[in-house]
Amino acid sequence: MSYDAYQNEKLGFTTRQLHAGYHPQDNRWAKQVPIYQSAAFEFGDFARCERLTFREEQGFSYSRCSNPTNKVLEERIASLEGGTAALSFASGMGAIFAVLMNLAEAGDEIITVPTMYGESVTLICDIMPSMGITGRIVQDPDDISAFEALINDKTRAVYIESLGNPLINIIDFKELARIAHQHGVPLVVDNTFATPYLFRPFEFGADIVVYSATKYLGGHGTTVAGLAVEKGDFNWNNGRFPQFDKFRKNGTKNIPEEILSSQLFTLRLYQRSLSLFGAHLSAQSAFYILQGIETLSLRMERHAYNARAIAIYLSKHPKIREVSSPVLENNPYHALAEKYFPKGLTGMLSFRVRGGKAAAVTVLDNVHLFDQMVNVGDSKSLIVYPAVATHFGLTLEQQADAGIYPDTIRVSVGIEDIEDLIADLDQALAMI
Ligand code: PLP
Pocket test for ligand 1, best of 214, 285, 382, 392 (most atoms within 8 A of CB): 214
Q: How far apart are CA 432 and CA 429, in angstroms?
A: 6
Over residues 28-86, the pLDDT tens digits come to 999 999 999 999 999 999 999 999 998 899 999 999 999 999 999 999 999 999 999 99
256 and 385 share one domain: no
Domain boundary among 293, 315, 331: 293
Q: HEC states along the chain?
A: CCCHHHCCCCCCHHHHHHHCCCCHHHHCCCCCCCCCCCCECCCCCHHHHHHHHCCCCCCCCECCCCCHHHHHHHHHHHHHHCCCEEEEECCHHHHHHHHHHHHCCCCCEEEECCCCCHHHHHHHHHHHHHHCCEEEECCCCCCHHHHHHHCCCCEEEEEEECCCCCCCCCCCHHHHHHHHHHCCCCEEEECCCCHHHHCCHHHHCCCEEEEECCCCCCCCCCCCCEEEEECCCCCCCCCCCHHHHHHHHHHCCCCCHHHHHHHHHHHHHHHHHHHHCCCECCHHHHHHHHHHHCCHHHHHHHHHHHHHHHHHHHHCCCCEEEEECCCCCCCCCHHHHHHHCCCCCCCEEEEEECCHHHHHHHHHHHCCCCEECCCCCCCCCEEECHHHHCCCCCCHHHHHHCCCCCCEEEEECCCCCHHHHHHHHHHHHCCC
Q: Give the range among 90-104, 364-378, 381-395 with minimum mean pLDDT.
A: 381-395
Which structural domain range is residue 173 located in?
5-293
How many domains is the chain built from? 2
Does the pLDDT value for residue 170 go beyond 80? yes
For residue 270 and ligand 1, the question of a CB distance below 6 A is answered with no
For residue 218 and ligand 1, the question of a CB distance below 6 A is answered with no
Domain boundary among 268, 293, 318: 293
Q: Report the pLDDT averaged over residues 278-294.
A: 98
Residue 312 belongs to domain with CATH number: 3.90.1150.10
15 and 139 share one domain: yes
331 Cα: distance to centroid of ligand 1 (angstroms): 24
* pLDDT value, residue 301: 98
For residue 189 and ligand 1, the question of a CB distance below 6 A is answered with no
91 and 178 share one domain: yes
For residue 214 and ligand 1, the question of a CB distance below 6 A is answered with yes
224 Cα: distance to centroid of ligand 1 (angstroms): 9
Hey, whose CA ends up nearest to atom 1 of ligand 1?
A: 212
309 and 215 share one domain: no
Identify the band that residue 1 occupies on the pLDDT scale cut at 50, 70 and 90.
very low
Q: Report the pLDDT averaged over residues 168-196.
A: 98
Q: Report the pLDDT averaged over residues 381-398.
A: 91
306 and 378 share one domain: yes
For residue 103 and ligand 1, the question of a CB distance below 6 A is answered with no
For residue 378 and ligand 1, the question of a CB distance below 6 A is answered with no
Number of the ligand 1 atom closest to the C-alpha atom of 93: 16
373 and 229 share one domain: no
Over residues 302-348, the pLDDT tens digits come to 999 999 999 999 999 999 999 999 999 999 999 999 999 999 999 99
Q: Report the pLDDT averaged over residues 249-277.
A: 92
Q: For the whole model, what pTM was predicted?
A: 0.96
